[in-house]
């Protein structure tokens, strides 16, 4: 850019100059206007939910795919369309936040009634009854998306929650509920891990969201650039580099975060165009967006275990437990549950090793660079 020679702030952009047109398009809660390369998945969802619009119970769906492949966005898009249909209520529950059956139904209650259930606490039965009565009285079909359902499994609440939703019509005749279960944990077999009593009523359609390839990523990021940056601020060579780095991680969220950070780096250099070096400089931070999101969702106890593993490096599970127990007073069973959860979330690695003549034991270590974990804890 041209910096005026007599500009007292030489080397800086003035407050109203920016590479961005609308920085909001890079925020996590932004729902993009165009949603490309997910046509078949959107078809599956619409096919399954179409009966709801006619007043019948919809088909259930399992949505699976690695992080950052558009699963939540697909639900948001379809639900936005359903919102215009009379007689249908669509509720997305983020199970990272609401990870028990009670919390899931409280969230549904809140969406239906537009106020929270009494905080003094009512029994689950009563909460469930009020939700069901409201649906029957108003002749409404309910579609519930359990987003990031893996968190219900970690808490041992998945079977009970699904049982209540899927068999609601038995306890409360006339209720029509369809469930979309969304999981980004590919090691979790959503159906196999449910109790038999739930499996017998759960025969879902499947929608799989594969990682985007580099060309698809470039297409999607180009839309974001057009909406978020000033014309000409991001040359194609830079977009291609961002797409390449994003493809290495498989998570579109990394690409979006990388664009924003690269834009900020360009502004720091007082430049109106983003250069490749701005991208390279931002990648170390951007590639950890998923880690940072996972760490933020942990409870205090779970965080404590991450810290203990960081301090103890590559040690046996039994030794790490001693340190963990000293700080939290928790028992071995709970400890093992948390180890398994952190392992499935890809925060720690817990690998078995054969002990001479004494069976097997696990060694625990961080799955990421220690500094990155500490920075985001």
Ligand X SMILES: Nc1ncnc2c1ncn2[C@@H]1O[C@H](COP(=O)(O)OP(=O)(O)OP(=O)(O)O)[C@@H](O)[C@H]1O
- Judged by CB under 6 A, which of 18, 52, 70, 102 binds ligand X? 70
Q: Which position has the token pair 């498989």?
A: 250
Interacting positions 116-175 with ligand X (CB under 6 A): 148
**How many C-beta atoms surround the C-beta of residue 210 within 10 A?**
13
Beta carbon nearer to ligand X, 42 or 330? 42
* Residues binding ligand X: number (CB under 6 A): 20
Burial class of residue 118 (count of CB atoms within 10 Å of its CB; 0-12, 13-18, 19+): exposed
Please give the C-alpha separations between residue 145 and each of 52, 78, 114, 247, 344, in angstroms, as whole numbers: 14, 11, 18, 28, 22
Dihedral in degrees, nearest 10, Cα atoms 34, 38, 41, 43: 60
Q: Does 67 bind ligand X (CB under 6 A)?
A: yes
Please indicate if the annotation marks 70 as binding a ligand: yes
x/- track of binding to ligand X for residues 16-55 (CB under 6 A)? ----------------x--xxxx-----------------
Any residues with CB less than 8 A from the CB of 53 and at least 6 apart, and which? 82, 85, 87, 88
Please indicate if the annotation marks 101 as binding a ligand: no
Please indicate if the annotation marks 287 as binding a ligand: no
Q: Does 181 bind ligand X (CB under 6 A)?
A: no
Beta carbon nearer to ligand X, 164 or 184? 184
Please indicate if the annotation marks 212 as binding a ligand: yes
Interacting positions 218-247 with ligand X (CB under 6 A): 220
Measured distance CA(20)–CA(361) in Å, rounded: 52
Please indicate if the annotation marks 249 as binding a ligand: no
Beta bridge partner(s), residue 205: 61
Please indicate if the annotation marks 69 as binding a ligand: yes
The first and second tokens of residue 213, run together, are 């390839």
Q: Which position has the token pair 């919390």?
A: 103
Q: Does 69 bind ligand X (CB under 6 A)?
A: yes
Closest separation in Å from C-beta 256 to ligand X: 5
Closest to 184 (Cα-Cα) out of 203, 210, 163:
210
Closest separation in Å from C-beta 115 to ligand X: 28
- Judged by CB under 6 A, which of 41, 72, 159, 246 binds ligand X? 72
Annotated binding site for ATP: 69-73, 212, 224
Could you list the residues that contact ligand X (CB under 6 A)? 32, 35-38, 65, 67-73, 148, 184, 209, 220, 252-253, 256
């Amino acid at each position: 850019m041209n910096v005026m020679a007599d500009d007292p702030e030489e080397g800086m952009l003035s407050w109203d100059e920016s590479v961005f047109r609308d920085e909001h398009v890079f925020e996590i809660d932004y729902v993009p206007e165009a949603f490309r390369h997910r046509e078949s998945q959107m078809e599956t969802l619409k096919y399954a939910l179409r009966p709801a619009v006619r007043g019948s119970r919809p088909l259930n769906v399992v949505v699976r795919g690695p992080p950052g492949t558009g699963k939540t966005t697909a639900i948001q898009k379809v639900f936005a369309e359903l919102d215009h249909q009379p007689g249908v209520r669509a509720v997305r529950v983020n199970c990272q936040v609401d990870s028990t059956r009670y919390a899931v139904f409280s969230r549904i209650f809140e969406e239906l009634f537009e106020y929270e259930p009494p905080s003094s606490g009512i029994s689950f039965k009563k909460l469930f009854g009020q939700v069901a009565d409201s649906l029957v009285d108003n002749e409404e079909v309910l579609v519930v998306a359990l987003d990031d359902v893996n968190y219900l499994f970690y808490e041992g609440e998945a079977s009970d929650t699904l049982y209540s939703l899927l068999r609601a019509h038995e306890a409360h005749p006339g209720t029509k509920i369809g469930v979309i279960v969304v999981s980004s944990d590919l090691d979790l077999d959503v159906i196999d891990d449910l109790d038999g009593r739930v499996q017998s009523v759960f025969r879902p359609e499947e929608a799989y969201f594969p990682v985007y390839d580099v060309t698809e990523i470039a297409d999607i990021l180009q839309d974001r650039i057009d909406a978020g940056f000033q014309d000409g601020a991001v040359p194609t060579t830079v977009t291609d580099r961002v797409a390449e780095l994003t493809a290495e991680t498989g998570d579109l969220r990394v690409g979006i975060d990388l664009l924003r950070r690269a834009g900020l780096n360009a502004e720091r250099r007082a430049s109106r165009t983003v250069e490749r070096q701005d991208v390279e400089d931002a990648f170390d931070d951007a590639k950890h967006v998923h880690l940072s999101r996972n760490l933020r969702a942990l409870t205090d106890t779970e965080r404590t275990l991450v810290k203990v593993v960081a301090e103890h490096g590559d040690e046996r599970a039994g030794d790490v437990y001693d340190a963990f127990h000293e700080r939290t007073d928790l028992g071995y069973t709970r400890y093992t549950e948390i180890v398994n959860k952190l392992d499935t979330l890809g925060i720690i690695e817990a690998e078995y090793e054969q002990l001479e003549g004494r069976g097997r034991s696990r060694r625990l270590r961080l799955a990421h660079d220690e500094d990155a974990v500490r920075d985001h804890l």
